[in-house]
A and B are shown apart, each in its own frame.
Chain A
């Protein structure tokens, strides 16, 4: 952490003289060179990221007349997706992702602390971190099937639970079941994002606060907590976005029996029956983008509040 910050500060101070030198040597061209070098990246992002989202924002407001098949501007799609079953699916998705994000953040933080503070835990740390890398990035399909084999209808653990123990009533194809599977990739994601911040907590700070007579609570209230709060908030936000966007796990596990907005989008797109369902899918997707944007705005606001609390 520390050397990186140092590098950053020297980089910004030496940037100005460097560019001045470049201009003196060869006029405008050397200054243009680097911008040309970064142009492919900017173009790529414009075409494959900004254009599709922009198109979404425009075409969500197009509607097809069921009789004449004429396309026209309309807010009918937006009206449809903010009510009835679609609104319920938004609520379902938001609930599921909020609950799993908070649970995943708490459990992931606990695991990160446990791994970082284990003495002689090099091997353990590497095992946990690489496993987290796989589970957080590999996607939900293999995880869904691992859980189906465990507590699905014909699962190994299901047989134990319903047979000898006589328990019944848990279904994987429910919001609780999905939450159980989501945590399987959210906890690793939390571990991955928060471990650097936990490692950055210097033992000297704790020692200094102990020497000065602070209690454990005071250390966490005035030193550890304020240092960790922003990264923990950011990571929770990432977990939320990840759970909100999850589609593969839900599709593989439950088909479309649970009200989730990602499943609704897929259904709208594959529907050949309803005229204009394609545009409905766009409106649903636009709704997701808007919701993520709102949560981001809320996060930035909280972040600003916490940074005031810190100082």
Chain B
């Protein structure tokens, strides 16, 4: 995302004059600011009021303001366990998604352009397919183990995937859910760089394909890999549907479970996770821009 915006930002800023709808230029110039500030004010209120109200909800107390809820988060029952599990699931998902998609995107760009429509279609499906439908299907497949495969190694493998401490099946489904984002982030990176020229140069100079991958492709794709990894991590940390339907406990299902008994804690954890993710994403986009300014290729 930040990759595309940084690239075309100058065009957007220069285009400031060209957007007042349905009015000729001169009239537009006179009343230009108004509609924009209405949009910012209305949507700003809509987006900020719930956040502010949530913070107030968590810190208000009978005698003033207290940060009790926030300091109690690390020691809350189940927090470290479930947050840790979600982090581990996220890391594994990122790893598998990248291992799967980096070679695919690079090969499609360099060697198999004819397969691009197929890969694009397949990575689009998880975006439109309701995750709940996918997970009902996955549940049906998992039910084959006790029904048909009992006593075979395959059934053992199925059961191993559903270990509650670290449910690998969640990782495998999350990779599917992350495919659209990972593919698009990597594809933007591949198209932005002159990858064909670079790899051809490396090949001419005698580098093997694995070496080209490690020392040319990966460094070029650094930012898009970072982007893809971050989006995937955010997706896994917030994913509720799949974990809930398959009956595993993760960070989001834990938040929902404690909401009944500790509403303030659940709101505090929610707000904190939103703000922390936002801060991290801002940091990544700032790093991305600095790198761009250093080497404007």
Binding site for B on A (CB under 8 A): 1, 4, 7-8, 10-12, 14-15, 18-19, 33-35, 37-38, 40-42, 44-45, 48-49, 51-56, 59, 107, 110-111, 113-114, 116-122, 125-127, 129-131, 133-135, 137-151, 154-157, 183-184, 187, 192, 195-196, 198-203, 205-207, 210, 215-217, 220, 238, 241, 244-245, 247-248, 251-252, 262, 265-266, 269, 278, 281-282, 285-286, 288-289, 292, 296
Contact = CB atoms under 8 A, between A and B. Distances in A.
A286 B133 contact: yes
B175 A111 contact: no
Nearest to B36: A114
Given A38-B112, A238-B127, A139 B141 contact: no
Interface in B113-133: 113-115, 119, 122, 125-133
Interface string B245-259: 100000010011001
Contact of B245 (A7, A15, A269): A269
A33 B209 CA distance: 11
B137 interface: yes
Given A111-B43, A131-B278, A203-B16, 10 more contacts: A44-B176, A51-B141, A52-B137, A114-B40, A141-B255, A199-B11, A220-B21, A247-B240, A266-B245, A282-B140
Contact of A52 (B47, B113, B140): B140
A150 B54 contact: yes
Nearest to A287: B133
Given A184-B47, A195-B5, A281 B109 contact: no
17 contacts: A8-B191, A37-B107, A41-B100, A44-B100, A55-B137, A55-B140, A111-B43, A113-B36, A118-B16, A126-B282, A135-B274, A138-B234, A142-B270, A146-B53, A238-B128, A278-B143, A288-B130
Contacts, number: 325
A146 B274 contact: yes
Contacts of A119: 13, 16
Contacts of A51: 137, 141
What's the dominant secondary structure at chain B's contact region? helix
Interface residues of B, number: 110
B133 A126 contact: no
A53 B133 contact: yes
B70 to A, nearest CB: 14
Given A116-B12, A248-B241, A138 B277 contact: yes
A59 B133 CA distance: 13
What's the dominant secondary structure at chain A's contact region? helix
A43 to B, nearest CB: 10
B188 to A, nearest CB: 8
B267 interface: yes
Contacts of A19: 111
Interface in B1-31: 1-2, 4-5, 8-9, 11-25, 28
Given A146-B51, A238-B127, A133 B13 contact: no
A285 B56 CA distance: 40
The interface centre, meaning the residue of A4, A33, A245 with most chain B CB atoms within 10 A of its CB, is: A245
A214 to B, nearest CB: 9
A266 B130 CA distance: 13
Nearest to B139: A269
Contacts of A10: 196
Contact of A49 (B2, B114, B176, B194): B176
A189 to B, nearest CB: 11
B57 interface: yes
Contacts of A265: 132, 136
A244 B130 CA distance: 8
Contacts of A111: 39, 43
Nearest to A284: B136
Contact of A149 (B18, B58, B244): B58
